Chain A
């Protein structure tokens, strides 16, 4: 960026600009303009007159919006804090078994390629409230009464989180598994020589080295749960029933912009969109600063180990000969 832009150079660059024209135009049409439009809409009434922040006031006072924010955060927090520890544990187990890793990987990948709509169809039958569903049959074997699952106001959110966990855990298992492969094995060897036990190795080598993977999985999971739509829609269509417990922010926006059954309000939908955008930005920023702490140390160590690896690789031939 320090280069001085000269007119002469600009002409030679024209060819480059033509080659990258499509995404530039795309960004303009499908990102800049819509974002601007959304902000303008959020401050206008249905006659496109400027009305300041009135729509935001309406949105924040709307009981359904408050409910959708609460549901989104509740299911999000529950999901993220169940998913990451379980996925990490499974990935560690997968990494430590001598045979059959690929077989298990295929199993964990299956829900990943299955669409959320299909998953919702399956889970709605498996967790249907009558006594013939698999879930209720299983709990009846241990003497429990049939439960309402998705149809019960008090447990629909938890059931949905369970479904999302089933669908999403394989993805994180694979990510963590890939992360575990990058932990330099020489660290473990050194620790073994120093007499560390398995738990200590796990605590002092595996977890610190996996820091970046953790941060990545955590931040992407947070963004994904804030944008929760497809699973709640597939379970309850645009109603968000029972009792609005499956009503999320995007569902609110969708309903206020495209619904055929409910009262539509573009201004409110736009205001909610802007709120969602800011919410994602803020939560990402908070996560970023929370996880940024002593990142410099990790970074140095990572570079160091990388250089070490490179040296080992460069000197690979010699090592081989000595052996």
Chain B
């Protein structure tokens, strides 16, 4: 250990110091969040002086959250929406990406451009018409309504899978054709199994986006029982006209972060990959 420390140059020691300061700044609000959620204090005022460890440890705040708020329902809704979105997104994107990569049909480039046009028009600039369409389809206050506009226009995922398929040898496809397999079967039995790592990356990305999305679920859902966790959290915790109890707010926050944190502690490799390889902002 000592010999290893000696090898560090002066600049490397400075790097460690700066990075550690940055890491502390990042982690401090989380520590405060967890500690406050386990702290019992009666007033709406924050305790003074601020503390990083609960002085009155209790699970009272969680008791309130589970008994007085629809928290479990929000968590269930969000999980259902996330699963549905991932399944549909991966199915549609992998199939379409495969077709645009290996398929030979008239107007392929134009159709690809047509689909990619989704990436050029920001979703936010066509909120009202999309809401009206979803309403006419009778999908307000449904899981499908929350995800359908995103799932059916996910040009980025399609493009990403097309890029991946482009690197796979065309011989695979020809071999399937010679054996007399249909296009759907070639996709399902030859190409889909090869897409594993890409699909994992896109899953991580999609779960993260769906779990943390606020704007669209807020518009399409107007019944509390159908709210996703973010909408529930936003309506409870951030209205600026009312004072909120810090303990209950942080308990809710902890519960909203926890599922993702647990999931991603196992998939950390894929998060780094998904950010690095795709670089898409939520």
Contacts and interface: CB of A to CB of B under 8 A. Distances in A.
Contact of B276 (A31, A104, A137, A178): A178
Please report whether the interface of chain A is mostly helix, strand, loop or mixed according to DSSP.
Answer: helix
B114 interface: yes
B168 interface: no
- Range for the number of chain B residues in contact with chain A: 35 or more
B208 A113 contact: yes
A234 B214 contact: yes
B153 A3 contact: no
Contacts, number: 293
Interface string A211-250: 0000011001101100101100111110101000000001
Interface stretch (A11-19, A62-70, A73-81, A307-315): A11-19
A118 B37 CA distance: 13
B214 A254 contact: no
A137 B25 CA distance: 15
Contacts of B11: 96, 198
Interface stretch (B28-36, B62-70, B170-178, B191-199): B28-36
B238 A235 contact: yes
A270 to B, nearest CB: 7
B48 to A, nearest CB: 4
Nearest to B255: A118
A230 to B, nearest CB: 5
Contacts of A30: 118, 130, 133, 148-149, 152-153
Given A175-B276, A241-B240, A280-B122, A98 B32 contact: no
Contacts of B271: 109, 112-113
Contacts of A122: 29, 32-33, 250, 253
A117 B15 contact: no
Given A16-B105, A38-B129, A110 B121 contact: no
A12 to B, nearest CB: 8
B219 A258 contact: yes
Given A19-B184, A27-B153, A117-B233, A253 B127 contact: yes
Q: Which of B111, B187, B250, B276: most chain A CB closer than 10 A? A: B276
A132 B152 contact: no
B187 to A, nearest CB: 8
Contact of A34 (B46, B110, B130): B130
A253 B128 CA distance: 9
Interface in B192-231: 208, 211-212, 214-215, 219, 230
Interface stretch (B53-61, B79-87, B95-103): B95-103
A161 interface: no
A117 B103 contact: no
Given A29-B133, A170-B26, A178 B275 contact: yes
Interface of B: 7-8, 11-12, 15-16, 18-19, 22-23, 25-30, 32-33, 36, 45-50, 92, 95-96, 99-100, 103-107, 109-111, 114-115, 117-118, 120-122, 124-133, 148-149, 151-155, 158, 183-184, 187, 208, 211-212, 214-215, 219, 230, 233-234, 237-241, 246, 249-250, 252-253, 256-257, 260-261, 264, 268, 271-272, 275-277, 279-281
30 contacts: A16-B99, A19-B99, A19-B103, A20-B96, A23-B152, A31-B121, A34-B126, A94-B19, A96-B11, A96-B15, A107-B26, A109-B268, A110-B261, A112-B208, A114-B212, A114-B260, A117-B212, A121-B252, A125-B36, A126-B29, A130-B45, A132-B47, A137-B50, A177-B276, A229-B124, A236-B240, A237-B241, A253-B127, A258-B127, A273-B128
Given A16-B104, A30-B152, A100-B16, 5 more contacts: A19-B184, A20-B99, A34-B130, A117-B230, A273-B127
Interface of A: 1, 3, 5, 9-10, 12-13, 15-17, 19-20, 22-27, 29-35, 37-38, 41, 90, 93-94, 96-98, 100, 104-126, 128, 130-134, 137, 166, 170-171, 174-175, 177-178, 198, 216-217, 220-221, 223-224, 227, 229-230, 233-237, 239, 241, 250, 253-254, 257-258, 266, 269-270, 273-274, 276-277, 280-281
Top 9 closest pairs, chain A to chain B, by CB: A26-B152, A178-B276, A34-B129, A13-B105, A34-B126, A115-B212, A37-B129, A132-B48, A93-B15
